[in-house]
Amino acid sequence: MANVRPVCSSGFAVLIVCLLYLPLNGPAQETKTLSVMPLPAHAIQGKGEFFIDGTFGIVLKGYTEPRLERARQRFLDTLSRETGIPLWREAAVNQPHFTIHTAGPSLPIQQLGEDESYRLIISPTDVQLTAANPLGVMHGLQTFLQLVRVTPKGFTVPVVSIDDTSRFPWRGLLIDAGHRFVRLPVIKRNLDGMEAVKLNVFHWRFADDLGFHIESKRFPLLQEKASGGFYYSQSEVKEIVAYARDRGIRVVPEFDMPCHTGSWFPGYPDLGSAKDPSRSRAIDPTRESTYKSLSGLIEEMTTLFPDAYFHTGGDECDFHEWESNPRIQQYMRTHGIKDGAALQALFTARIQKIVSDHKRIMMGWDEVLQPGTPKDVVIQSWRGPKSLADAARNGNRGVLSSGYYIDLNQSAAEHYLVDPLGDPSAATLTPEQKARVLGGEATMWTDIVSDENLDNRIWPRTAAIAERLWSPKEIQDVDSMYQRLAVVSSKLECYGLRHRLITEEMLERMTGDSNPVALKILADVVQPPKLYERQELRTFTDFTPLNRLDDAVPPESETAREFDGIAKRIASGKATSEDWQQAQQWLVLWRDNDAKLQPLLTRSFLTQDLAPVSRDLSQVAEIGLQALDDLKESRLVSADVRQRNIEFVKSSERPQAVLLLMVAPSVEKLVQATRTQ
Amino acid sequence: MANVRPVCSSGFAVLIVCLLYLPLNGPAQETKTLSVMPLPAHAIQGKGEFFIDGTFGIVLKGYTEPRLERARQRFLDTLSRETGIPLWREAAVNQPHFTIHTAGPSLPIQQLGEDESYRLIISPTDVQLTAANPLGVMHGLQTFLQLVRVTPKGFTVPVVSIDDTSRFPWRGLLIDAGHRFVRLPVIKRNLDGMEAVKLNVFHWRFADDLGFHIESKRFPLLQEKASGGFYYSQSEVKEIVAYARDRGIRVVPEFDMPCHTGSWFPGYPDLGSAKDPSRSRAIDPTRESTYKSLSGLIEEMTTLFPDAYFHTGGDECDFHEWESNPRIQQYMRTHGIKDGAALQALFTARIQKIVSDHKRIMMGWDEVLQPGTPKDVVIQSWRGPKSLADAARNGNRGVLSSGYYIDLNQSAAEHYLVDPLGDPSAATLTPEQKARVLGGEATMWTDIVSDENLDNRIWPRTAAIAERLWSPKEIQDVDSMYQRLAVVSSKLECYGLRHRLITEEMLERMTGDSNPVALKILADVVQPPKLYERQELRTFTDFTPLNRLDDAVPPESETAREFDGIAKRIASGKATSEDWQQAQQWLVLWRDNDAKLQPLLTRSFLTQDLAPVSRDLSQVAEIGLQALDDLKESRLVSADVRQRNIEFVKSSERPQAVLLLMVAPSVEKLVQATRTQ
């Protein structure tokens, strides 16, 4: 970030282009060097910088409203944090060199597809931000904040002309407060993070089999019997809805039904399918009284959530409960319902009618899409882009979540390259059908995540998903994404998120040591296993303490990713001298770390099982150093030794202590690159 | 903290003593190994540990009230953070092995001198906390939280029997929100910190010459004209008073008068002494209308602050303003008032009467103590323990702040060894007179501190002052204090304070680098100059951005302190082999750091002036390494070279970039220890 030079650093022709703000080739090239996420649709960089100092002032022109005033004050607060200059107070009285022009209001209830575009023009002397409505203004302010950097002369933003608009209108983050209650400050700071990367839908899920975490006044036994006292009061819900609106974010509530509803029955056993309400997990879809209750609940909840969409879940029904209930079986036979899926379809149709009666549009997971499903129902796909393309062809709109499951510890690159329109069959959609693919949602399931490490799972990787949903389709350069992600990650911490910090705090707690250097070195190169393997290696309930290393480390090891790049370059003969030096330094660090770490690991019950991981890291590094030396000297190695080393490294790639040693595959590449005698 | 062994580790007799909970020798010895601050008055350690796991439960017995319920929930929240076990929810349903016995209520408005004692008995199977009232309960819960540590078997607290009570009844922290407005969340987390170390008075100062930061409804132009829009609303004040009460903390407001009042006159020019209200800094004490207004303001403020004490400042009057006003001069002549001090004394007497009329006891700085001052006026001494002893002899009660000015970058040890009864003349006080010395207050003046680095100046050093005010006088072991301070510092971060974190964040911002290792190495061994020297080296106003290295680093370098201990042991021939090794490692690190750091320093305007400091560190370390080698080899060195080295090191001890290179004096010791040919 520091020592930023103007992009147009050489060449007369280029310089002219920049000064005139003429466009360069494509969006990806134009904007490559702007360290922002998501990258703007169009940006043309100029020469010079705009300085931010104690004289900074900002003014609202055109349409204004209290929300814009608050956005301005929040902007000043954040800019103050970014610079250490107390602008939150000063800028009120300074001469404004930053002018916001707002043409008019946005809708009283934020709607899908409202204009979110903005134009941000930064010259060396002033800044002009123009937008049709407050939504665009808020996005433009976030872009400006991300551009702030420190230079030899002061805090600056580069001279640039940005014309920005979103590719998809539905850019969401699901936070599952059903498995684990997520406290209000955590929700709030994640809404701040969403605002920073221009996400505009907060999908808030409230209940699952073990917890019901929102207050119902009509059905108070829901929260009273199944929240342990921890639920969102209705006034807190309203507070969050207002907080989100202030940030250009819609709030879509989810009440998952008819399954994942075990928590509903301790209070209202008649709703359940099993005789023993404590065992029931599914709503009984065969009783009229069920629909009367659900209509009451949905009606009550629509008073809290003004958004046009209302999510009723519908995923992963286990039909065994219905099939083992004689009364439900009888009903199915009487009404000619052939199986559980057909029964769920009838249930869905009833619920859709209720939701519609309460002036909302139903949204549900893949399963709710059946031949008769009304066309206005929005499908959220956990199955993949193909099912989304099929729905679009069929006339239903949809939102992609498959590929954006950020609880599964995949890499940012994996998520980044998933496109809601990325299925081959999407290519054959008409423009009208394509428009039914509304966007996507990152999903933060909380089966094995807590308030504490939630940020660490959501950020920074969700910024890559946000870019996929906002920026032009062509922007796909993974290296550029990772470079910018590192910058945005720091910004997000400055804005109040705790994704990096929490790892340090958890390592401190694990060891009782205020600076556990040796454990940090190990933590830096391990990751929890991806997808659902973690659950196979460790038993988790919704109440398991999440205080071990697999909970503490980020889902993606940055160091391992960088080391892998170096290892690949070395193995393919393309390495620079810095690559060789860096590889050597890291391998020595890892080799020698075990001797320091082992005695410390014995001191805490939370670190004892890390002993073999640390030992493996040391041995793998030793093998890596040998391979490095062999490659450097072009030495031929014994086939036997080489084979044994490969086998050892491979064996170290299996999970231990619910962790993967992420540098092992890179060392394997180095050994593979050596040649035998 | 880790690998904790029972204190009674050997010896049959000792073991028996422990099992029977019989007292050992004196308080200092008994409690030496408990990593808590303040150390309890009496503690006897036993054998074994009490385990904290998912089965932990806690119950209130005896007297109860909502405040106790909230304290219990807050305790569970903190214990959850300390362990990562979601006890905040679980402990509600678990079997309680922790029982709180509260005999009765405390007073509706917390009073000076209320019983704060508690008894905490931890056995391997259960915990009993007993207290006369909720104040003692809250203190006992904090002691328990500080005892929690991670061990090879789990999270535990040691078996111990604690009987604890405070030495002084007035243990305060002043936060000056007059110079710089301090936001609510910052106030709140510092109240949390106060609770953790058993401080019980929050002295909240609201106004100074440039800002008036609390809402008056009777005199709204105070905040409207002099707060820039940033002031505490009356409902926020009430919220803080309630928040403090929940933590066993009284809130004493300060409205400093008749001087430091420049911010009062833009709104109410008639109150000022100068013709031009924008220049006036002092209230006009000669008009009757002044007292009418002040009575109105004080009356209004007593509705917000229920505490029995009301602070009216009175410090540092510059009488020039009165002396240059002909009308005031005329008044003084007419009434036979010989000088400004006499006029202030008359003013003080009037204010004392007003405060008293509104059912409050006046408190003021040293200056308010005059021959006729009523005996119930409490003196806060910035002049020192002698003035406090004099006041006590004279019949006035007092609180010490001299020696506890935590804004002046002194060491924890310096503050720790200041005793409110430490003046030689205090020894001759009668017990009754001694009891008039109520305690002390750490003072956080905000002339050159912001919301951001406030925590970094208050903590952890204030814990040392808290121990001085709570623990028995005999507890004075500085080494033990520093060992425990390191543990408490980590705990405080876990409780939500940001004193260590903020340094990292500020270094990141200064460099635009997410992990500026080389700058951290330099930052680790520098300090801002002590006392008032900093203001001589850099210009500060109440609005200066505080974003440089002297703002970012803690007031006391831990590394330099440790290195100094090692250097002293080496110089005096008492070093261990670990000492030699550590000294060598550090000196090599510092010597080599400059080459890495210099190119980075040029990239940011906030680091450019650090170049000579980094260079000096390198050269001083080089000299230190040479001295280390000479000492190790018992080599005789050239007197010339030795002299030149000493001179260089001495020259590096002068402030540069408003920073002191704290390891230089230690290197000087090493060089001084070498012998010449």
Alpha-carbon gap, residue A358 to A352, rounded angstroms: 10
Write out the two tokens for B145.
């939280």
Q: Which of B83, B494, B512 sits opposite A150 (nearest CB)?
A: B512
For residue A515, the chain B residue with the least C-alpha distance is B490
Residue B413 has pLDDT above 50, yes or no: yes
Residue A392 has pLDDT above 70, yes or no: yes
Residue pLDDT, tens place only, B476-515: 999 999 999 999 999 999 999 999 999 999 999 999 998 9
Residue B567 has pLDDT above 50, yes or no: yes
Alpha-carbon gap, residue A201 to B264, rounded angstroms: 47
Which candidate, A413, A383, A389, places its Cα nearest to that of A401? A383
| pLDDT recorded at residue B13 | 32
B605–A514 C-beta distance less than 8 A: no
Averaged pLDDT score across all residues of chain A:
92
Selected residues 435-494 of chain A with any CB under 8 Å from a CB in chain B:
450, 452, 486, 489-490, 493-494
Selected residues 492-531 of chain B with any CB under 8 Å from a CB in chain A:
493-494, 500-501, 505-506, 508-514
Which candidate, B177, B327, B311, B306, places its Cα nearest to that of B244? B306
Backbone angle region of A266, left / alpha / beta, with phi > 0 → left and psi within -120 to 50 → alpha: alpha
Q: B217-224 contacts: CB < 8 A, separation 24 or more?
A: B217/B300, B218/B296, B218/B297, B218/B300, B219/B267, B219/B268, B219/B293, B219/B296, B219/B297, B219/B300, B220/B267, B221/B266, B221/B267, B221/B268, B222/B263, B222/B264, B222/B267, B222/B268, B224/B267
* A81 vs A92, residue with greater confidence: A81
Write out the two tokens for A637.
């190695």
Please report, to the nearest 10 degrees, the dihedral formed by the alpha carbons of residues B538, B542, B545, B547 taken in order.
Answer: 70
Residue B25 has pLDDT above 60, yes or no: no
Residue A93 has pLDDT above 80, yes or no: no
CB A36 within 8 A of CB A147: yes
Estimate to the nearest angstrom the gap between the alpha carbon of A81 and the chain centroid: 23
Residue A69 pLDDT class (50, 70, 90 cuts): very high
For residue B180, the chain A residue with the least C-alpha distance is A86
Which candidate, A407, A655, A418, places its Cα nearest to that of A531? A407
Residue A292 has pLDDT above 90, yes or no: yes
Alpha-carbon gap, residue A178 to A323, rounded angstroms: 26
Residue A453 has pLDDT above 70, yes or no: yes
Which candidate, B605, B593, B621, places its Cα nearest to that of B657? B605
Selected residues 533-562 of chain A with any CB under 8 Å from a CB in chain B:
543, 545-547, 551
A316 assigned to active site: yes
Which candidate, A526, A567, A518, places its Cα nearest to that of A661? A526
Residue pLDDT, tens place only, B619-657: 999 999 999 999 999 999 999 999 999 999 999 999 999
Q: Which of B168-182, B192-206, B262-276 has the lowest mean pLDDT?
A: B262-276
Residue pLDDT, tens place only, B517-535: 999 999 999 999 999 899 8
Alpha-carbon gap, residue A18 to A35, rounded angstroms: 18
Residue A91 pLDDT class (50, 70, 90 cuts): low
DSSP-assigned letter for residue B529: P
pLDDT > 70 in chain B, percent: 94
* A460 vs A13, residue with greater confidence: A460
| pLDDT recorded at residue A277 | 75
Q: Which amino acid is at B667?
A: V
A154–B514 C-beta distance less than 8 A: no
Is A608 an interface residue toward B (CB < 8 Å)? yes
* Mean pLDDT to the nearest integer, B344-359: 96
Q: Which residues of chain B have a CB within 8 Å of the CB of A151? A: 603-605
- How far away is chain B from the Cα of A548, in angstroms, using its nearest Cα? 9
- How far away is chain B from the Cα of A511, in angstroms, using its nearest Cα? 7
Catalytic site positions of B: 316
Cβ neighbours around A11 below 10 Å, total: 10
Write out the two tokens for B312.
């009216």
Residue A96 pLDDT class (50, 70, 90 cuts): confident
Residue A164 has pLDDT above 60, yes or no: yes
DSSP-assigned letter for residue B576: -
Residues contacting residue A139 through CB under 8 Å, at least 6 positions apart: A116, A118, A131, A164, A198, A248
Residue B223 has pLDDT above 60, yes or no: yes
| pLDDT recorded at residue A88 | 72
Residue B363 has pLDDT above 50, yes or no: yes
| pLDDT recorded at residue B3 | 37
Residue A5 has pLDDT above 60, yes or no: no
Residue A303 has pLDDT above 80, yes or no: yes
Q: Map residue A251 onto helix, strand or coil.
A: strand
Q: Which of A336-340, B119-123, B531-535 has the lowest mean pLDDT?
A: B531-535
| pLDDT recorded at residue A89 | 67
Q: Which amino acid is at A476?
A: Q
Averaged pLDDT score across all residues of chain B:
92
Alpha-carbon gap, residue A328 to A334, rounded angstroms: 10
Is A84 an interface residue toward B (CB < 8 Å)? yes
Residue B332 has pLDDT above 90, yes or no: yes
| pLDDT recorded at residue A543 | 82
Is A425 an interface residue toward B (CB < 8 Å)? no
Residue A670 pLDDT class (50, 70, 90 cuts): very high
Write out the two tokens for B113.
């001198």
* A542 vs A8, residue with greater confidence: A542
| pLDDT recorded at residue B43 | 96
A152–B543 C-beta distance less than 8 A: no
Residues contacting residue B353 through CB under 8 Å, at least 6 positions apart: none
Residue B373 pLDDT class (50, 70, 90 cuts): confident
Residue B29 has pLDDT above 60, yes or no: no
Alpha-carbon gap, residue B262 to B497, rounded angstroms: 33
Residue A16 has pLDDT above 50, yes or no: no
Strand partners, B118: B131, B164
Q: What is the ipTM of this complex?
A: 0.90
* Mean pLDDT to the nearest integer, B607-613: 98
Residue pLDDT, tens place only, A211-265: 999 999 999 999 999 998 899 999 999 999 999 999 999 999 999 999 999 999 9
Q: Which of B512, B545, B546 sits opposite A1 (nearest CB)?
A: B512
Residue pLDDT, tens place only, B128-149: 999 999 999 999 999 999 999 9
* Mean pLDDT to the nearest integer, A635-650: 96
Residue B15 has pLDDT above 50, yes or no: no
Residue B90 pLDDT class (50, 70, 90 cuts): low
Q: Map residue A105 onto helix, strand or coil.
A: coil
| pLDDT recorded at residue A92 | 55
Which candidate, A473, A458, A459, places its Cα nearest to that of A421? A473
| Active-site residue identified among A69, A316, A505, A647 | A316
* Mean pLDDT to the nearest integer, B328-334: 95
Alpha-carbon gap, residue B637 to A113, rounded angstroms: 80
Write out the two tokens for B216.
């008056």
Q: Residue A539, class by beta-carbon neighbours within 10 Å (0-12 exposed, 13-18 middle, 19+ buried)?
A: exposed
* Mean pLDDT to the nearest integer, B39-43: 97
Q: Which of A152, A602, A606 sits opposite B608 (nearest CB)?
A: A152
CB A659 within 8 A of CB A549: yes
| pLDDT recorded at residue A494 | 94
Q: Residue A598, class by beta-carbon neighbours within 10 Å (0-12 exposed, 13-18 middle, 19+ buried)?
A: middle
Strand partners, A62: A102
| Residue A181 parent element (H or E) | none
| pLDDT recorded at residue A28 | 37
| pLDDT recorded at residue B89 | 67
DSSP-assigned letter for residue A6: -
